[in-house]
Structure 1
Amino acid sequence: MSAPRLPDVLLPYQQRWIADPSPFKVAEKGRRTGLTWAEAADDVLIAAADKAAGGQNVYYIGQDKDMTEEYIDACAMWAREFNQVAGQVEQGLWDDVDEEGGSKNILTYTIRFPKARHRITALASRPKKLRGRQGVLVGDEAAFQEDLDGLIKAAMAFLIWGGKVRLISTHFGVDNAFNTLCQDIRAGKQPGSIHRITFADAVAQGLYKRVCLRMGKPWTQAEEDAWAADIYAFYRDNADEELDCIPSASSGAYFSRALVESRMSADLPVLRLKLPDGFELRPEAERMATVGDWLREHVRPLLQALPETGRSYYGMDFGRSGDLSVIVPLIEDQHLHKRAPFIVEMRNVPFKQQEQVLYYVADGLPNFAAGANDVRGNGQYLGEVAAQKYGAARIHRVMLSQQWYIDQMPRYKAAYEDGNITVPMDDGVLTDHRAVQMIKGVPKVPDGAKAKDADGGQRHGDSAIAGALAWFATQNAAAPIEFMSGGPRTDAADLQGFM
C-alpha cells in the first residue's frame, strides 16, 4: 500500500502567483492568506540565482517593522529549506532624506547570498532614494504606504533594466491609489497582471488545512466552517474590505449620467422589434416573412450605409419573455474608435426569430471579426448556432459571472472615459448603463433591478451588458480580418440574413 501523498508546500493561489512571470504584477488579497510567505520563497530563489539565470537583488518594503521582520524571517527559513548558502540576517541603516531634505536613517534587514553576489534587503519604510536601485521590488500592504503614488512611480524605474515589481495588499478604501491601480490594470490602462485572492478563496484552496497541518491537528469540514465563521465574525462590518477584497464605500452607480451622455450621438438609432403574445405559435413561414419584412425595412438601409473599410463586432445579451434581447454592433475605424451604428432590441421574440435577426445583422456587417454571446440559460442555443455558423474562433460564448464582470466591466467603462466608443442617444440605453452598480466591489446589474423604458417595457441593464460583450469581442478577435469589398457580406440588396 502506497504512502499517503503529502500536500504541496504552496497552495494553488500561491503557486499561481509565483508562476506568473509578469514584470509588474499586483495582488489584492484578504488578510493572512500567506501570499507574503510565498513571495519570500520566490525572492530567495531569485536572489540565490546567478545573473545568467535571472538572479537579482530584492528590495522589500513593508508597512512597519514587525511586518518587515516577519518577511525576512520567512526568507531565512526558505533559504535553509532550499539549501542555499546565505549569510546571517544583518541589521543596518540606510541613509536617506526626510521631507525637508535632511538626513534620516531607515532600519534595514539584509540576507546576502555570496555565491550569486545578490542580496535581499527588507526595509520598514519607503526610502526617497529608491530610484537608484535595481532588481526586484516588493511593496507589501501597498495600499497603506504613506506615498503609494510615489512608490509606484519609483517602482516603474525598476522595469527599465529588466527588474520586476510586485505589489501586494489588502484594500484601504475605494479612492485609495491601490484600488485605482487595480482598476487601471483591469481596464487595460496600466500594463501588468492582477491576482484577486479573497479569504474565502484561500480557505477553499486549503488554507485551514494548512493551519491544521501546522498545528498538528486533524482537519474536519465542520471545524473549517466554524473557524472561517469566527474570522468573519471578528472582522464584522470590515469583513468585505479586510477579507473579501472589496474596498470600502464601493457602492452606487458605476456609470455617471454625464459620462454616458458624452459618448452618445443622436444620429444613431435604436431599432425595436416587439412581437405579440402567441407569435411563436404561428406557422414558420409566416414568422420568417414577418420578421424578414421588418429587417428589410429597418435594418437593411443601415447595413447598406456602413463603410466597407472597417472591422466589425457584435455583443448580444439574451432575453426571451421578461428581459430584452439586445444586439450591439460595433464598427471600428482606422483610428480604432468603435461606433454602434445602431442597436437592435427584441422583446417577446421567439428563439428562431432571434436567430434570424442575429444572422441578418452579422451577415451584413463589413469585415466581421468577432462576436460575443451571453450564454446563460436559453442563450446557450444562440451562442451555439452562431459558433457553428461563423466559427468558434470568432464567436465567444460568455457565461457571465462575477469574475467576468470584475475583469471586463472596467475595460468597457474605460472605453467611455477615454472617448473610444459612441452609442445611440437613447433613454433606454442610458437607463441600462445607469443600472450597473458596484455591488460589493463588483460592477454588475443587481439581480432584482428592473426599470421601465419609454414604452413601459421592462429593462434590466440589457444594452449595457450587450455593449460590454461587444467591447469584449473587440478585444478578443482571434485574428486580423482583411478589409474587403463585398465578399462574405454580399450585396446588401440580397441580404436575407437567415440561411
Structure 2
Amino acid sequence: MTALPTKEQIQSARFITEAEWKKLRLESLAAGVDTGDSLDAILLGYQQKLLSTVAAFRVTVVEKSRRTGATWGVGSQAVLISASQRAEGGMDSLYIGYNLDMAREFIDCCGMWARAFNDAITEAGIQEFMFDDGPDPSKHIKAFRIRFASGFEIIALASRPRSLRGFQGFVIIDEAAFHDDLKGLMKAALALLIWGGRVLVISTHNGEDNYYNTLVKEARSGSKGYGYCRFDFDDALRDGLYKRVCLRTGEQWSVEAEAAWRAGIIREYGDAADEELFCIPSEGEGSWLSAALIEARARQGIPVLRLTRPRDFTFWSDHLRRSDIESWCERELLPLLMKCDPLLMHFMGGDYGRVSDLSVLWPLAIQRTLKRTTPFVVEMRAIPFDCQKQVQSYIFKRLPRFCGFKGDATGLGFAVAEAAQQELGELRSEAVMLNVPWYRENAEPVKSAFEDDMLEIPADAEITADLRLVQVKGGVPFMPALRSGVKKDRHGDSAVALMLAHAASRSSLHEYDYESIATALEAQRSKDEAEDAGLVDTRGLY
C-alpha cells in the first residue's frame, strides 16, 4: 500500500487565499475555460450534471456544499417526473427531509417549477395533510402535497417515515447524513426499485463514520452500480454561483468581488469549512484514528494467530493442557519466530482477558529507520491463565534481541503480567496499571506513528475494528462500553496491546544476553581442537 499523501498534497481548498482565487479566476477567464459566464441557462452547470446523473441511474448519491441550490434543481426534476404520464416515465415523488421548514421549502420550490413549466396542477394546489406512518395517529407525519393532472403527486415529509409501505416512485432523501436511521431508510427506499422507482441521496457530510459516507464510498467505487455526483463550493463558484447571488442582490459581479465574498464565507465557517463547503468528512466525533489512516498502515501478509480451545479445555489435566499448547506453539508460533530478523530489537505488549475479552500479545520490531513493524499477533480466547503464561513465555524465549515487555495488570490480567515480570525481571518487564494519565502519555505517540508512517500493522478486519473503537474524551483516548466483532465479542483488545507494545519500544527497558561458563569452555575446546587439526587459519580473526 502506498504511503499517505503529504499534508501539502491534501491541503483543503479552504486554504486558497483571496488573492490566489482571484488569480485562478482571471486565468480561467483569459483562457476561455470559465464555465460560469452565461446566465442564459436556468440551471448552473453542476445542477445540470446532477439532474443528468439522476436520469441515468436508478440510485444516485450526491456530495455537495452547503447552499448551492442542489435541492432547488432537484425540485425541477421531481415536477417533470410527477407531471408526466405513466407511459412517459411518470411516477409519484416523495421528498424526505428532517424538519418542517425543509419540507415546506421543497414543496414551494416544486410549485414554482410547475408554474414555470405550465404543468397542470389540480385546483387544490399545494395541500397540507398528515402522512399515514402507521396505525398510531399520534405518529402521523405532517406533510405537503402537489397533485398533477397526470394522476401523480409530489409529497414532502417533515420527518423520516418509519416505513414506505404503499408508496412507489421517486424518493429524494435530502441532507441524508443528518437523518436518525439512514441505513433503515435506505433499506426501505431501495425496495421501491423493484417496480421501477428511483432513489436520490443528497447531503453535505456529517462525519467520516456516518452511514452517508459509506454510501458515498460505495458510489465512488462502483461496487453497487450507483450514480455519483460531487460539487463543492469552488465548483459552484466556477459554474456561476456568485453571479446568481449578485443577480439576486443587485450587486455588480467582478472577479475581485467574488474572491472577497468567497474568503468571507470560508472565514465564517472556520474549521468547519472542509466539511460544510468542500465535501471533506470530518473524523468521527470522538474517533481516535480514522479508518483511512489505519488502512494506510495495514500490510497484507502479517499473520494474526487466533488460539481457541473447547469449552472443557480448562478441566483437562495439567500435562494434557501443557502438551496441547506446546504442540500449538511449535506448529504455529515457531515458524514465525524463526523468521524474525535476529539483528533487530524486539518488544512486546500484552492485554489479557479470560471470559468475555481476548488476550492479545503484540510483538514489534524496530527497523534501522526506527519504524516499528509487526512480525505477527497472537489472540487467545477463553484460554486458561496458565496456558496464556505458557504461550507468552514461549515467545519471550525466542524473540531475537528481546528488549522489553509491558503487560496490562489492570483487573484479571495482573497474574499473567506478574508472571512476565518474574520471568524477565523488572528491567525488561513492567506490569502496567492502565489509567487516564497512562493513556494521555502513551496513546499520542502511537497516533503520531500512524500519521508519520512509522508503524506497520496487520491488514485484519478485526484489528481495524478494535482500533476504530477507541474514542477520545477530554483529549484522552479511552475504550467505550461498546463492543465490536461479528459476535460483538471484542472490546478493543488488540488496540490496547498495540499501545503497550509501542510504549515498551520507547521505554528505557534493557536488552541483555548471556553465555554460560560451560558453553564458553566448550566453544574454546572446539576452537583448540580445530586449530590442532589445521582446520583454522590462525593468522586472522577466529
Q: TM-score normalized by structure 1?
A: 0.50
- The higher radius of gyration belongs to 2
Q: TM-score normalized by structure 2?
A: 0.46
